Chains A and B, each alone.
Chain A
């Protein structure tokens, strides 16, 4: 292998030597890789971009067909319409944020509490519990019994009905468990010898080492909560506890209702049936926050050039 020294082109902290050595084959690969990723990114961003463009376009532009790349006549009307009197959108946002924040934190804790013990291969009863968890992943009693259960717990119309049922999720527990299993045992064993109990081990050793998987599960749970609407539909009755997705879904539903000729008399002179523009605004409003959240969690996933793993 040639060791023609081609200096690293990109910005960032200085890379270790083994990363900087590049062959000609490496360069070709890098270029192709970059090109491929750029094309891929463009293809992937296209629908999102057209949605943003449509949400900011006037009625006339919004129904323009074909490639929608730039905004000619732009307006905030679609957003205004979506955010106006169909219900208190601000409150719905708060409800969604509450449910996502509280739900995620609690669910992550519960998942860790489940995954950590199961990561010990010699834990008595491990298999039984695993089967126990697996069954919940594949079999479900359905809507009616769940509703009756929530009702008998007195949680109908409570925000906790949206949080408690999903705190323990088999899939997340198993993923996290598998990750824990790859963590080096030596650290843990020596701490145990020194008299630490498992709670301390968990908090001081395992969790710091497992930031990537914890962040992953947190992301999954957060997205799940943010996008959830069905449980809110079934369990929540009072309008002030509605979550965002449900409110916006209702808006679309009402828009569809208005288009039924049986109901055409419900429309006023002033309301146009909101079209693509408003629908796009709704999409952006729902996706926006979670997309904005992601970069903050991203640092746990993308390996930066930080030196050394954290050895016990």
Chain B
């Protein structure tokens, strides 16, 4: 070695040393609480029978927590029931009945302090956007202790129900939605459905239905078009029409200064009379009452149906849901031939009322992580920080937890990290990788708006923005009171009387809609019957619940 290189080498070594120390320190910091690897059993079933997934391995590398799936999926209800009944609880349990689990002594309390200390990401988000998040899953009587840690689901926090119809048929009979070309906004990338922000009235809609019935809009020489499609699920058929009378399905409301439930309100009565009139006039699918969702959607695909009032716009623009509205009114050949389908906001009813029920009342408090009683505080801290890192941490981690490894388990729709992640079929995953890349469980969801770009393909993304931030907000019908913190006996009343109340409600509903009874004559008897069999009690309990509007702001007011 020459004389010049030795000092150079020494210099390099001297530089390398602190570099190495710094790198090691950083690695340790990145490994977070990786002082001691621990094992945490978790309620997941890894599909395709593997023992682990790529992301689970990443979890272990980054946080030192090794997840042991216990083989039970939250959707296997019987298996979950057996698991709970035999007390075979894993450390982390994810399902919806969190209060019950705690009451039965199976899970432990989680303190607010623990959440704030170990879950900075979630805490920050709740404090900033959802102060009401600190109210959910609260243990009764305790201010700062929880039965579960809440997730966040912003994607369904709005009214998702809209009306769709064949615009070209409507134009043919002279009743098209105005300003279609000027105002149309694409709802998908295939041109199968456009959104037009035009407030159309019930009267117009009724005229349109009559025209669909009589004027052979599809031009096939037969009057076989079903003007308004429907099926036996209320939500998928009628919510927007009910909204035209100011009532949100499933929610309580104030009417004439009194708290009442949606299915005994005057608005509902008027709604029923409207549907009965339409049904008797042949404007509604005659067999809707015993039609399941799938056959009803098939009718739309087959171009027999003119309009549909229960279109869930969350379905738009996914390849997988092409056979459902809003993307199923037209197929690709139709689009090429110039056919048009339009999605419009909920119809405007008498008194100018308009809207649809908000899909989930609050983006928090639906699914939560609950922790088994056997877990001590130190382990709890590790679990919480792992969850926070996974869900509320960086975008990269979050996407990987849902989809797996970039370019192995999923591919980008467009630009990397700026477009939707599209899962790759299992058989196309190159050998040597685990077949499943993601965490193995999507619940509880943590879907905040800044991450929609990774989930929803482009058009749906834009429409989500509209729903959550734009005009879409004004169509929400919300409950008047909401028992968010489970303070009233509403659940008990429901458990006791629920089946009876629902039977009374459903029988009357279907018989009324299909014209099998006289609504005016039977209404009072129906309401009295419903009130007598638990309805009044449930209203009494609802009256004790806090006001929804205040809850949204994080304020508890009764």
Contacts of A86 in B (CB 8 A): 47-48
* A265 touching B455 in the complex, CB below 8 Å, given contacts A86-B47, A240-B49, A258-B320: yes
Q: What is the CA–CA distance of A257 and B442 in the complex, to the nearest angstrom?
A: 12
Surface stretch bound by B, among A29-37, A50-58, A141-149, A174-182? A141-149
Contacts of B315 in A (CB 8 A): 261, 264
Q: Which residue from A233, A266, A269, A276 sits with its C-beta under 8 Å from B319? A: A269
Tell me whether A85 and B85 are in contact (CB under 8 A). no
Contacts of B426 in A (CB 8 A): 84-85
Distance (whole angstroms) from the CB of A74 to the closest CB of chain B: 20
Tell me whether A266 and B49 are in contact (CB under 8 A). no
Q: What is the CA–CA distance of A222 and B294 in the complex, to the nearest angstrom?
A: 33
Q: Which A52-109 residues have C-beta < 8 A from chain B?
A: 63-65, 84-88
A267 within 8 A of B: yes
A41 within 8 A of B: no
Q: What is the CA–CA distance of A259 and B320 in the complex, to the nearest angstrom?
A: 8
Contact with B along A234-263 (1 / 0, CB 8 A): 100111101000000000011001110111
**Interface size of B in residues (CB-CB distance below 8 Å):** 45
Q: What is the CA–CA distance of A64 and B48 in the complex, to the nearest angstrom?
A: 33
Surface stretch bound by A, among B75-83, B201-209, B217-225, B350-358? B75-83
Tell me whether A261 and B156 are in contact (CB under 8 A). yes
Please classify how large the interface on chain A is, using the bins under 10, 10 to 19, 20 to 34, 35 or more: 35 or more
Distance (whole angstroms) from the CB of A279 to the closest CB of chain B: 9
Q: Which residue from B81, B82, B318, B445 sits with its C-beta under 8 Å from A262? A: B445
Tell me whether B82 and A267 are in contact (CB under 8 A). no
Extra contacts, 4 of them, besides A147-B85, A259-B321, A269-B413 (Cβ < 8 A), are: A87-B48, A261-B315, A266-B423, A271-B425
Q: Which residue from B49, B320, B425 sits with its C-beta under 8 Å from A273? A: B320
Q: Which residue of A lies closest to B423 (CB)?
A: A268
Q: Which residue of B lies closest to A257 (CB)?
A: B75
Q: What is the CA–CA distance of A273 and B322 in the complex, to the nearest angstrom?
A: 9
Q: Which residue from B85, B299, B402 sits with its C-beta under 8 Å from A144? A: B85
B162 within 8 A of A: no
Contacts of A258 in B (CB 8 A): 320
Tell me whether B425 and A151 are in contact (CB under 8 A). no
Tell me whether B322 and A272 are in contact (CB under 8 A). yes
Q: When A and B form their complex, which 10 residue pairs have the shortest distance between CB atoms, in order from nearest?
A: A239-B49, A267-B320, A261-B314, A268-B423, A85-B426, A265-B455, A237-B71, A144-B85, A269-B319, A63-B298
Q: Which residue of B lies closest to A279 (CB)?
A: B294
Q: Which residue of A lies closest to B88 (CB)?
A: A151
Q: Which B317-343 residues have C-beta < 8 A from chain A?
A: 318-324
Q: Which residue of A lies closest to B81 (CB)?
A: A143
Contacts of A263 in B (CB 8 A): 442
Contacts of A234 in B (CB 8 A): 78-79, 82
